Amino acid sequence: MHEVAPTGSRIGRRTVIAGTALAAMVLNPKVGGAGEDSGEGGRLAAAAAVNAGQGRLKQSVCRWCFPKWSVEQLATHASSLGLVGIDLLDPADFPVVKEHGLVCTMVNSHPLTDGLCDPKFHENSLSKLRAAIEATAAEGWRNVICFSGNARGIDPGTGMDHCVEALRKIVPVAQSNGVTLIMELLNSKVNHPDYLCDNSKWGVELVKRVGSEHFKLLYDIYHMQIMEGDVIRTIRENHAHIGHYHTAGNPGRNELNDNQELFYPAIARAIADTGFDGYFAHEFIPKGDALAGLTDAVRQCVV
């Protein structure tokens, strides 16, 4: 069943695939007969024609996925596409994004594997979270990431108790600084074996137990498609507990194209329809031309 666009026209997977193919012809100098000399100009022209600001979602992009670009280059492309900012940066990168009129949509903190479910990592995690909160608040920005960490034999119930204990110490600090802590949902099947916060049910229960608007979940669409699927229904039922989103194609964590199983225009529309006012960040690893992939991802999610 196709989704209905706000204009009343029907948009299905075939339409989006056709748009993706057209973008590839414009962006890739070897597709559609474009000459080598037209490659860079074509890519930049296509990017200039896409404006994330025309949609209802505040789109951004994750830094780590584009290692061949400097932060300056990524910021330039992000600005040209109408993105609001860049995800997962350290304070040293803040001046560059600010020069481009962008924000850091998610600030780094403590290690992913050594997180809040294990008390032996609480001191280090809370110290790094405090520093990240202060740096984020100083810029007037809103989000700091945190992680459950790996279980290392700790059962889910006990791990949740340990997370609640740690979060109740640090969430008041975030609240007093106008910052929200965001715990990421990650898959433990493919990419992050033993990670504890690997399903929506566990994560939502943790948010409820902490009981603060300054602690929410990062719903990573790629990761949760691997762990549980039923993405749109889960988002609709739990959107009040979600403060941030990440995208990527599955399988492979690559571009949002017709080689993967998720249909992002419908997902993006469902998120926008909840009234979500946070950030929606692209976190895919491009297999092909990076600017072409990012441009097409942004285009699909302008809803």
Q: Which residues are catalytic?
A: 184, 283
Is the Cβ–Cβ distance between 97 and 85 less than 8 Å? yes
What's the CA gap between 193 and 269, in Å, rounded? 31
Is the Cβ–Cβ distance between 301 and 58 less than 8 Å? no
- 200-210 and 156-176 helices, crossing angle to 10°: 50
- At 294 the three-state DSSP class reads helix
What's the CA gap between 156 and 117, in Å, rounded? 9
At position 1, the amino acid (one-letter code) is M
Question: What is the bridge-based pairing of β-strands 3-4 and 10-11?
Answer: antiparallel
